[in-house]
Amino acid sequence: MDVQFLPQAEILLTCLVNALAVNPNPPAKACLTWGDPIADMGVDGDDCCEGVAYVNLMEFYPSSNLFPDRTIERQSGPCGVLAWAVRFQATVFRCWPDDGMTRISCADRTAAVTQLFHDSQAIRQALCCFREANRDYLVAVTDAQPTGPLGGCAGVYGTVSVQLPNCDIC
């Protein structure tokens, strides 16, 4: 049973849901996901039209003395890795009003972009909340940026890494 990485993903999801809840039009769905969240939007992008928020595990790697950089060191004994850098992504997707066939009005584009700015603020707030929840660990907010439009969806994501001790083995 994972008592390290999964609880961290759940903390970030809770932070994201709470930050989105105080903004206009919070997403209808929020969950943990695996892999690239854009791949889960479906062919017609209907999932993103209701608004969807995801947290996913992007990667984890040894990182002890130069967090959040990778640590390449000789690993011996039963513990091997001393600490893990665990990187998560928090993402919000929305409908993009352009179907690729017709031009969208400036007002529709501005409304979509305004919502994405609200989502961007919620992502930033969630990353700060995650950092505050992990005061006992090293945390690095690494980037946040827009994504899309692609397949009728556009969104914003932010990434954060936390250094966790290797407690699974030792």
For residue 156, how many other CB atoms are within 10 A of its CB? 23
Q: Are 7 and 15 a contacting pair, CB within 8 Å?
A: no
In the structure, what pLDDT confidence band is assigned to residue 41 with cuts at 50, 70 and 90? low
Q: Are 123 and 61 a contacting pair, CB within 8 Å?
A: no
Domains in the chain, start-ordered, CATH in brackets? 5-165 (3.30.70)
pLDDT at 75: 61
What confidence tens digit (pLDDT) does each residue in 50-105 have?
899 999 999 988 887 888 888 776 665 666 778 889 999 999 999 888 766 678 88
**What is the DSSP annotation of 89-138?**
EEEEEEE-S--SSSPPPHHHHHHHHHHHHHHHHHHHHHHHHHHHHTTTS-
pLDDT reading at 170 higher than 60: no
CA distance 167 to 154: 38
What does the block give as tokens for 61?
């790697």
Q: Where are the alpha helices (DSSP H) in the chain?
A: 5-21, 46-49, 106-133
pTM of the model: 0.89
What does the block give as tokens for 8?
């961290």
pLDDT at 125: 97
